[in-house]
Amino acid sequence: MNTHLRIKLSILALATCAATLLGGCGQDFDPPSLISKTRVLGAEVRVDGDPSRATPQPAETATVTFIVVAPTQVPSLGWAFVVCQADPTTNPASCAAAPLASFQGTGTPELRIAVPAAEALGNTSRLTVVGQICDDGLPAIDPQTGLPACGGAGTMLTVDVHLDRTGTPNRNPDLAARPLWIDGIAWSPDDAALDCASLPTVAAGSKDHVLRLATLAEDRETVVTPAADPANPTTTTREMLQISSFDTAGKLGQSYAIVPSEDTSPESDVEIKWDAPDAPPADGRVRFYFVARDLRGGVGVVTRAACVE
């Protein structure tokens, strides 16, 4: 999970485990890669006018879009978020001052954030987005904490929006523009209008299908960081790329793969094994989600679909 974004999905996981503790929360649980219920997989930050950038500058506007998925159609969940200057001395869910803006709506949360001017930001290097997605109804702003709260069950989320204060932006990995293959066959982007005659098809219960994703060198930017050795005041490395994989049926061989920072290849492919479910889903389709993170705030997501017969 992307610790840089600090998506607090563990709160929901702990609550689920606690709720089922008497029935046993040890052996009979779904793998983290399986989408068996509505889930938030992360959040994309894109600067308005230049969506390749994940780090807005002061006085720019950025859009934060949460990646919400479900086994079939995503329900119209209620949500509310506030945006504030991050308090560096406390946990991620804290604000240094009163919220800069608040948002409320239903469906997939998408927030358009106006970053304050440099003089208003002071030394702040990030903004924090704090909110709730509720299972039933819209959240309300708690007058005691100033934060959104659900009346019933819900998930608390926090996202850091890192700011470009030095003129060296961080860009999102463009996974959607990279080729994918399933069992060596080019895997075209899925479309809701496509039927199974136009999608890759596998037999129910078949195993060891190979899902392959290509990443290019430009997906991992060069990062210059201070070094501890005075004789070498800076260190230049490449970003590491973490690719998390999810499916709505079957079993993935791994939940995530890594392209290490030491990899200097112009193209680095990631392969993930997948076993098809023993029976076809209700609509015959399995959907796949691949989320790439550079662990510095850059996020890219791509989806594919295959049919099971």
Per-residue model confidence as pLDDT tens digits over 122-152: 888 889 998 888 877 788 777 777 778 887 7
Q: How far is CA 265 from the centre of its chain?
A: 25
Asked if pLDDT for residue 169 goes beyond 60, the answer is yes
Is 23's pLDDT higher than 70? no
Least confident span in 39-48, 53-62, 226-235, 257-266 = 226-235
Q: What is the pLDDT of residues 221-241, one digit of tens each?
A: 888 776 666 676 666 778 899
Cβ neighbours, 10 Å, residue 208: 10
Looking at the chain, list the stretches that DSSP marks H as alpha helix, in order from N- to C-terminal side: 10-19, 118-121
Non-local (6+) Cβ contacts of 74 within 8 A are: 38, 68, 107, 108
Domains by residue range for the chain, with CATH: 10-20+31-162 (2.60.40), 175-308 (2.60.40.150)
DSSP track, 118-141: HHHHTT--EEEEEEEEESSS--EE
Q: What is the pLDDT of residue 193?
A: 63
pLDDT digits (tens, 9 = 90+) for 3-16: 333 333 332 332 33
Averaged confidence pLDDT in the chain: 83
How far apart are alpha carbons 224 and 84 in whole angstroms?
28
Give the residue with greater pLDDT, 212 vs 189.
Answer: 212
Under 8 Å between Cβ of 38 and 107: no
Mean pLDDT over 279-308 rounds to 94
Give the whole-angstrom CA distance, residue 307 versus residue 201.
5
Tell me: pLDDT of 67 over 60: yes
Task: Say how far apart CA 172 and CA 195 lie, in whole Å.
Answer: 31
**For the chain, what percent of residues have pLDDT higher than 90?**
50
pLDDT at 65: 95
Q: Which pLDDT value is given to residue 47?
A: 98
**Residue 121: is its pLDDT beyond 80?**
yes
Note the pLDDT of residue 88: 65
- Residue 266: both structure tokens together: 């112009």
CA proximity to 99, closest of 118, 80, 79, 119:
80
Query: How big is the CA angle at 143 (ends 140 and 145), to the nearest 5 degrees?
Result: 95
* The predicted structure's pLDDT at residue 270: 95
In tens, the pLDDT along 177-202 reads 999 999 999 998 877 667 888 899 99
Q: Are 44 and 67 in contact (CB under 8 A)?
A: yes
SS3 241: strand
Listed in sequence order, the residues at least 6 apart from 282 whose beta carbon sits closer than 8 Å to its beta carbon are 72
Give the strand pairing for 201-202 and 299-308: parallel
